[in-house]
Chains A and B, each alone.
Chain A
Amino acid sequence: MKSLNILLVDDDPTALLVLEKGLSLQEYPVTTAADGEEALGRIAGESFDVVITDLMMPGIDGIGVLKAAKARSARTEVLLLTASQSLKSAVDAMKNGASDYLQKPVDLGELLIILEKIESFRNMAASAEELREAMDVTEHNAQETIGRLEMEVARLASLLEQIREILSDETLEAGKRVEKALHCASNDSTRGG
């Protein structure tokens, strides 16, 4: 039940197959593309959470794929695969918004760690956002509740005051006072919206 949906791009069929097998074994949903052209088609059709692309490819290269993926969705993370001699272009790619790069041949263990980090970072970000909204709504609601209770307390206090006045009204005889007080309590004029 891995939640990252991955696009894998490499013009070297063997490398592509090896990585695809490795990721599928870990239960990642994987789509593959055999070159930059095909990758762009896939990206147009569907948005991926992670794009893993070879940097050096004939025609549309890794940077082209990177740009297309980022244009489709800024949320997509792009990982570049580079031959050791192309370190400088890997650094350029990072400047273009790639999340990380890996040297070929790819160490699957290393790739899995990066993917897990991406996944847990996304989950944390999502829960932090949920928490913020839940707190916001709860706080707002608690404010309303306190407001309502304040009004209720004020209403009861004023009712109590009225009854106290009636009960201490010396112009009335005792029986009348009680009757009037009960009447006041049951026809509570302070009760309202």
Chain B
Amino acid sequence: MTTQKITADEIELLTKYIYDVSGIAIEKTKSYLLETRLGPLLDEFGLDSYRALHEKAKGDFRKSVETKIIDAISTNETLFFRDRDTFEVFRNKIIPDLIDARSGRAPALPSVPIRIWSAACSTGQEVYSIAITLKELLVDLKKYRIKLLGTDISDAAVSRASYGIYSKFEIERGMPQPLLQKYFSPVGANWKINDEIRAMATFQRLNLLAPFGALGRFDIVFCRNVAVYFNPEDRKVLFNRIADILEPDGVLIIGATESLTGVCPRFEPKHHIRSIFYQLKGGR
């Protein structure tokens, strides 16, 4: 497979463009990444250089070229129940604590509100893992008012998430057999999430580096394996904004290889069994 080589000038141009539209910071040494991800777009649009692609994107006011570039450049790698320990803590500590706190606060409410946001949901595996965990744990969902929102900057990822259909290969990465049998049905060679689980979630396209106060407040935010693509300044802005929309006793969950040390002093880590989650300092 041959790919068009990218020049140093074009790397400059495109990394800047990609940063401006998505906040994704690509190191200038990663020419191979730009070539393998954007090369196919040159073929698709019949262009002969990355500079021409950049021009086409700039001149396209309907932003369809921008959308395609973001879809191509974003790394959507994800899997069901990623970081097992995190999901254990979510199931055995975070949700039970939250329900205790919420039912104690307003015992008169007919149903307990639980608002969860998966801030970079990619193709949806994280969201459906959360939904299945809730369903397994809470059984009768009518007693709760669950709002489960999945957002991502990639249009293609969000529509796949919303579709809820996964290949055998994607299912094999993390979905236990019993849960597969219980919550998916086969369509051709693929598996489709059942309507009951699908209906728990909503999806929308959202750039995390633009203000997102309009989403409202959340009890739990999953923001995993996305800030790793941002520069340190943008990470600070992002986690500060998350602190703004989190309930005082809310919980933030980040990726198992990530850390907030030196990123956002408003959060403090809490250790439970083998896993760490974050809460606002002086919260509760």
Contact = CB atoms under 8 A, between A and B. Distances in A.
A72 B261 CA distance: 49
Contact of A74 (B2, B33, B165, B259): B2
B167 interface: yes
A138 B256 CA distance: 10
Contacts of A72: 43, 46
Given A74-B2, A138-B257, 10 more contacts: A47-B44, A47-B46, A74-B1, A75-B43, A131-B77, A137-B228, A138-B225, A141-B257, A145-B261, A152-B262
Interface in B151-177: 163, 165, 167, 169
Given A130-B76, A149-B259, A75 B40 contact: yes
Q: Which 5 A-B pairs have the closest CB atoms?
A: A134-B77, A73-B43, A141-B228, A145-B259, A130-B77
Point out which of B77, B163, B165, B258 has the most chain A C-beta atoms below 10 A from its C-beta: B77
Contact of A138 (B1, B76, B228, B262): B228
11 contacts: A73-B43, A129-B36, A130-B75, A133-B33, A138-B228, A141-B228, A141-B258, A145-B258, A145-B261, A148-B261, A149-B261
A91 B3 CA distance: 26
Interface of A: 1, 44, 47, 72-75, 116, 120, 123-124, 127, 129-131, 133-134, 137-138, 140-142, 145, 148-149, 152
Given A74-B2, A130-B75, A145 B257 contact: yes
A134 B180 CA distance: 26
Interface in B117-167: 163, 165, 167
A133 B75 contact: yes
B48 to A, nearest CB: 11
A1 B167 CA distance: 12
Contact of A123 (B43, B76, B169, B262): B169
A127 B1 contact: no
Contacts of B36: 129
A1 B164 CA distance: 12
A137 B40 contact: no
B229 interface: yes
A45 to B, nearest CB: 8
Nearest to A142: B257
> How big is the B interface, by class?
20 to 34
A74 B43 CA distance: 9
Contacts of A148: 259, 261-262
A183 B106 CA distance: 44
Nearest to A141: B228
Contacts of A73: 40, 43
Given A131-B77, A133-B75, A134-B77, A152 B43 contact: no
B169 A127 contact: yes
A179 to B, nearest CB: 27
B76 A75 contact: no
A3 to B, nearest CB: 11
B37 to A, nearest CB: 8
A149 B263 CA distance: 12
B149 to A, nearest CB: 23
Interface in B1-19: 1-3
B262 A137 contact: no
A74 to B, nearest CB: 5
B175 to A, nearest CB: 16
B193 to A, nearest CB: 15
B64 to A, nearest CB: 15
Nearest to B227: A141
B166 to A, nearest CB: 11
Nearest to B261: A148
